[in-house]
Amino acid sequence: MGSTTESEGMHYEGNCIRPPPEAYSILLQVTVGCSHNKCTFCGTYKNERFRIKDDDIILSDILFASKHMKRQDQVFLMDGDALIIPQKRLIWILESIQEHLPWVRRVGAYANTKSISMKSPRELAELRGNGLGMLYLGVETGDDDIRKKINKGSSAQHCLEMGKRVKNAGIKLTVTLLLGVAGKEKSLEHARATGELISAIDPDYASALTVMLIPGTPLWEEYERGDFQMPDERGLLIEMREMIAHTNLSSGIFSSNHASNYLPVRMQLPEGKQEILDMIDAALRGEIVLRPEWMRAF
């Protein structure tokens, strides 16, 4: 794509996704696709070759936002892993945001263990100093057997180390967790290991999503063959309860507000832990109405 002017609007390509907390952010697409793109449950970027967008397109979108998005004070860098952009270029993007969108108070982006490991502690601190205030890390599970099976590309220990690297740089960290990804067979083992891993990382936010079976993905093929059995509603509630029971944050928020979940909760930990457990117990007794199937989405 060649050069353009800000008057043409924002340039979005492919499947553009963002975390729920970024719903009202300026969505600035700086990459297309995901640098990993191998997770067995994900079909978002199935046929998309990862690439960084041209600087002139990125700057054009920033200039468009500077004229038409003055009420939005956060920017989210799409797509799947903007942190993998080389440091010098990423700093240029952040400086351009500061120059043209001076009212923006925070920039967020997805990250994975590979892209975090490619940034030194000093480089992460430099990004923090230029406005990068939130990273979203897909932890999914703390069980190494399941991590291999879903092709996460890193161990739980490496995930812990990279999560700590982000936190130590002063960047706020949201970790995402996948309910149901271990199937029925290892549901509780997955829940316990994940709770223990996020406790060790001690993120600012822990967000639970429920895996959705997407046709065309390797996980869907496992399901079709009968090699993967998804927990039912009750099983997913028990799994989330077990995960929270094994989660101990010094001060963070646990949520399951994503549209994929049957029971939305949001609570500050550690003080709200028992309240969440009591809420799940009430749902298991049928005293709380769960989100209907037709309202669920990934």
Kindly list the domain boundaries of the chain, sorted by start residue: 15-289
Query: 4 pLDDT band (50/70/90 cuts)?
Result: very low
Sign of CA dihedral 33, 35, 36, 38: positive
Per-residue pLDDT tens digits for 79-106:
888 999 999 999 999 999 999 999 999 9
* Residue 33, pLDDT score: 86
* Residue 294, pLDDT score: 64
Q: List C-alpha distances in Å: 261 to 48, 114, 228, 255.
A: 27, 28, 19, 10
Q: Interhelix angle for 273-284 vs 233-245, to 10°? A: 160
Residue 5 has pLDDT above 70, yes or no: no
Query: 7 pLDDT band (50/70/90 cuts)?
Result: very low
Statement: 15-289 belongs to CATH 3.20.20.70: yes
Tokens 């997770």 belong to residue = 39
Residue 108 in contact with residue 77, Cβ under 8 Å?
Answer: yes
Per-residue pLDDT tens digits for 222-234:
999 999 999 999 9
Q: List C-alpha distances in Å: 192 to 104, 107, 180, 251, 267.
A: 38, 32, 13, 19, 19
Mean pLDDT of 56-73: 96
* Residue 44, pLDDT score: 81
Residue 38 in contact with residue 81, Cβ under 8 Å?
Answer: no
Helices (H) and strands (E) in the chain, counts: 10, 10
H or E stretch covering 191: helix 187-201
User: Which of 59-63, 76-80, 99-103, 293-297 has the weakest average pLDDT?
Assistant: 293-297
Residue 153 has pLDDT above 60, yes or no: yes
Residue partners of 183: CB distance under 8 A and separation at least 6:
228, 229, 230, 231
Mean per-residue pLDDT of the chain: 92
Residue 209 — φ and ψ, nearest 5°? -120, 160
Per-residue pLDDT tens digits for 164-203:
999 999 999 999 999 999 999 999 999 999 999 999 999 9
Residue 123 has pLDDT above 90, yes or no: yes
CA atoms within 13 A on the CB side of 70: 3
Smallest Cα–Cα separation from 39: which of 278, 160, 217? Answer: 217
User: Which of 48-57, 151-160, 252-261 has the weakest average pLDDT?
Assistant: 252-261
Per-residue pLDDT tens digits for 26-40:
999 999 988 888 899
Distance from C-alpha of 53 to C-alpha of 228, rounded to nearest angstrom: 37
Residue 6 has pLDDT above 70, yes or no: no
Residue 257 — φ and ψ, nearest 5°? -80, -5
Q: List C-alpha distances in Å: 272 to 4, 242, 243, 277.
A: 50, 15, 14, 9
Residue 138 has pLDDT above 80, yes or no: yes
